[in-house]
Amino acid sequence: MTAFARYWLKWPSIEHVMSKDWAWPTAETFHFVGLCLLFGIVGLYDLRMLGFGKGLPLSALKRLLPWGVFGFVLCLVTGLGFTLGIGANLYGDNAYDVIRRDVYLQLKLLFMAIAGLNLLAFYLTGTDKVVDRLGAYDEAPPLAKTIAGISLVSWTAVIVFGRLIPVGL
């Protein structure tokens, strides 16, 4: 299994691109733009579900969620570039070894998984349909508030542990 993971995580083309002087800062810029879109929009939606800004109807905020998804895709693509390019370019080893060694990267990935499972719970429990019917000044149900709180904590942890990744290397 380890050999398979090492082989799968060895992408010479990404390592080559990420070794260019312009690649890392460009990827960082797009990663931060993606974070702003993702956390800004999803965080605002979550805060509204928690009861902040009750004058904002959730239906209006929901129209912004595709931009949050776009931000996530930007972060995913650039994050893969960082992860697959960092080992070979900075440390001369495989991305698999970097993932196994860096606790902060592991924690970031864990909280991304928690955020994903939380989002899945939002839709599978039908909470999204309940929230869609809320108007301005309506209170979200307790399950929606719980999901919103987990989302905020998870995405905040993703950002914090992401910033700590260089420390763990």
Burial (CB < 10 A; 0-12, 13-18, 19+), residue 114, is: middle
Domain definitions of the chain by residue range: 11-168
Q: What is the pLDDT of residues 6-35, one digit of tens each?
A: 555 565 666 667 777 888 889 999 999 999
Q: How far apart are CA 130 and CA 145, in angstroms?
A: 12
Query: What pTM was estimated for this model as a whole?
Result: 0.86
Nearest-Å Rg of the Cα atoms of the chain is 18
SS (H, E, C) 118-140: HHHHHHHCCHHHHHHCCCCCCCC
Mind listing the pLDDT tens digit of every residue in the chain (169 residues)?
Answer: 676 655 555 656 666 677 778 888 899 999 999 999 999 999 999 999 999 999 988 888 999 999 999 999 999 999 888 887 765 556 666 777 888 888 999 999 999 999 999 999 999 999 999 999 998 999 999 999 999 999 999 999 999 999 998 886 6
Judge contact between 74 and 30, C-beta under 8 A: yes
